[in-house]
């Protein structure tokens, strides 16, 4: 049994068309109703409109990414109970439309963070890059987050200052813009004031408290998902450690184990993202796959290359630090054992060839992802055929 190949589509405003995704060889599409704000209900009508768009291109909407969890739910403030009730209603509506896998995350304020979304590789293609000194410089000298110095060592601050002093004005502006990029699927970046205000709402929320908020959310939502036969897939933190003083609670194997035990159910599962989890050196990706196998509901396959200092860039899908051969082999073994095919998407891709001149969502240009998918597809077929002969 091979993986179910999909690609992410940001909806009608995405410069990558559904027909491109079909030509990439995908049967499934991963999308979300980005125009509906977090906390609101996704109506059956809105879901069906999107579903039919995808259906009319000969594909199916296999995975929702993401049904976003509102900041009110994460901080347990304001209308959070109403938002959870709305979340459950959206799940009912999705189930009524036949959609089964729902991805979400519990990262406070920011989703993924990078310092450079146009990092030039030696061959001229562009990749996403996280540079630790630049990020600290952004935090201390551009965002000027109150109390930020407490989160860094003297040596880190010194190196960030040296890095910042060497930046030209336009580099500072680019760094500022990149670090404040909005959520995937949004063209609107955060303003510094919005980020500072949002950070303020987490002043009293440490990792333990955030975890309690997540567990509360799961205890309300997972029984509903289970009754509807839906599979919830939490996405790991990216990068998998605290940023801007914000706690992060979906970064390690133990975090995932705690999440699953907070609401034990086969509906309570993981989006296994090799790119995110792989940035933390002590994360053993194969061990995570083996331990949570029946809880893995969605696969994001991409690769990162990190140095010992905390910098990382997005490598080719088969390059980088993660041994994709071993990952794919393990996935195929899990699929064989469970008798099911997991949805997979090639996550992020290099901006390359004709896409270099196009404006696309960072990480989501067509050709780089198509290349990634083609490599993964070839690898998978090779491993699959080889396993049949074993
Ligand atoms: C980045 C994505 C994440 C992911 C969300 C899921 O490219 O993998 O933004 O969609 O965290 O909720």
| Residue-number span of the structural domain to which 164 is assigned | 116-196
Q: CB of 31 closer than 6 A to ligand 1?
A: no
Q: In this structure, are 216 and 186 located in the same domain?
A: no
| Whether 57 and 180 share a structural domain | no
Q: Which of 135, 166, 196 is at the close of a domain?
A: 196
User: What's the pTM value of the predicted model, to 2 decimals?
Assistant: 0.97
Residue of 7, 87, 238 best suited for mutating to test ligand 1, as the one with most atoms within 8 Å of CB: 238
Q: What is the CATH number of the domain that holds 349?
A: 3.20.20.150
Q: For ligand 1, is residue 361 a contact (CB within 6 Å)?
A: no
What is the dihedral sign for C-alpha 352, 358, 363, 367?
negative
pLDDT of residue 257: 98
Tell me the C-alpha distance between 55 and 106, whole Å: 30
pLDDT tens string 135-170: 999 999 999 999 999 999 999 999 999 999 999 999
pLDDT digits (tens, 9 = 90+) for 10-57: 999 999 999 999 999 999 999 999 999 999 999 999 999 999 999 999
Residue 276 CB–ligand 1 contact under 6 Å: no
Backbone angles phi, psi at 103, to 5 degrees: -95, 145
C-beta 112 within 6 A of ligand 1: yes
Q: Same domain for 30 and 127?
A: no
> Is residue 155 domain-shared with residue 32, that is, in the same domain?
no
Tell me which residue of 324, 326, 308 sits closest to 316, measured CA to CA: 324
Give the Å distance between the CA of 110 and the centre of ligand 1.
Answer: 11
Last residue of a domain, one of 165, 196, 227: 196
Active site residues: 235, 273, 300, 347-348, 364
Whether residue 217 is found in the same domain as residue 244: yes
Q: Are 333 and 289 in contact (CB under 8 A)?
A: no
Distance (angstroms) between ligand 1 centre and the Cα of 184 equals 7
- Among 134, 39, 122, CA closest to 87: 39
Strand intervals (E) in the chain? 4-8, 28-31, 60-65, 101-104, 116-120, 126-130, 231-234, 268-273, 296-301, 304-306, 312-314, 343-346
The three-state secondary structure class of 1 is coil
Task: Tell whether the model's pLDDT for residue 182 goes beyond 70.
Answer: no
Q: CB of 111 closer than 6 A to ligand 1?
A: yes
DSSP 265-316: STTEEEEEEHHHHTTSTT--HHHHHHHTGGGEEEEEE--EEE-TTS-EEE--
Q: What is the number of structural domains in the chain?
A: 2
151 vs 183 pLDDT, higher one: 151
Q: Tell how far the Cα of 168 is from the centroid of ligand 1, in angstroms.
A: 31
Phi, psi of 65 (to 5 degrees): -145, 110
pLDDT of 252 above 80: yes
Decide the pairing of beta strands 60-65 and 296-301.
Answer: unpaired
Partners of residue 271 on adjacent β-strands: 298
């Amino acid at each position: 049994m091979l993986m179910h190949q999909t690609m992410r589509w940001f909806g009608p405003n995405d410069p990558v068309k559904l027909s491109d995704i079909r030509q990439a060889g995908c049967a499934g599409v991963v999308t979300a109703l980005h125009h509906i704000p977090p906390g609101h209900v996704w109506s059956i009508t809105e879901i069906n409109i999107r579903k039919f768009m995808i259906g009319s291109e000969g594909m199916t909407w296999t995975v929702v990414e993401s049904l976003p969890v509102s900041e009110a739910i994460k901080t347990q403030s304001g209308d959070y109970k109403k938002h959870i009730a709305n979340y459950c209603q959206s799940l009912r509506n999705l189930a009524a439309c036949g959609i089964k896998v729902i991805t979400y995350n519990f990262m406070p304020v920011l989703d993924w963070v990078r310092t450079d979304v146009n990092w030039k590789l030696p061959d001229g293609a562009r990749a996403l890059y996280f540079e630790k000194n630049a990020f600290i410089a952004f935090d201390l000298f551009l965002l000027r987050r109150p109390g930020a110095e407490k989160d860094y060592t003297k040596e880190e601050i010194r190196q960030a200052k040296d890095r910042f002093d060497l930046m030209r004005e336009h580099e500072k502006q680019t760094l500022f813009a990149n670090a404040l990029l909005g959520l995937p699927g949004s063209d609107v970046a955060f303003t510094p004031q919005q980020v500072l205000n949002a950070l303020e709402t987490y002043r009293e929320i440490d990792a333990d408290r955030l975890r309690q908020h997540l567990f509360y959310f799961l205890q309300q939502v997972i029984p509903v998902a289970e009754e509807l036969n839906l599979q919830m897939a939490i996405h790991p933190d990216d990068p998998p450690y605290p940023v801007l003083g914000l706690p992060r609670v979906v970064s390690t194997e133990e975090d995932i184990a705690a999440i699953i035990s907070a609401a034990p159910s086969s509906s309570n599962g993981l989006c296994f993202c090799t790119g995110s989890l792989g940035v933390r050196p002590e994360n053993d990706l194969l061990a995570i796959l083996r331990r949570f196998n029946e809880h893995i509901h969605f696969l994001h396959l991409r690769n990162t290359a990190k140095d010992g200092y905390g910098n990382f860039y997005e490598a080719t899908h088969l390059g980088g630090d993660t041994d994709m051969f071993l990952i794919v082999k393990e996935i195929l073994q899990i699929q064989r054992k469970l008798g099911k095919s997991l949805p997979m998407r090639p996550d992020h891709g290099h901006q390359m060839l004709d896409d270099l001149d196009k404006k696309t969502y960072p990480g989501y240009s067509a050709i780089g992802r198509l290349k990634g998918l083609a490599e993964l597809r070839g690898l998978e077929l090779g491993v699959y055929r080889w396993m049949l002969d074993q």
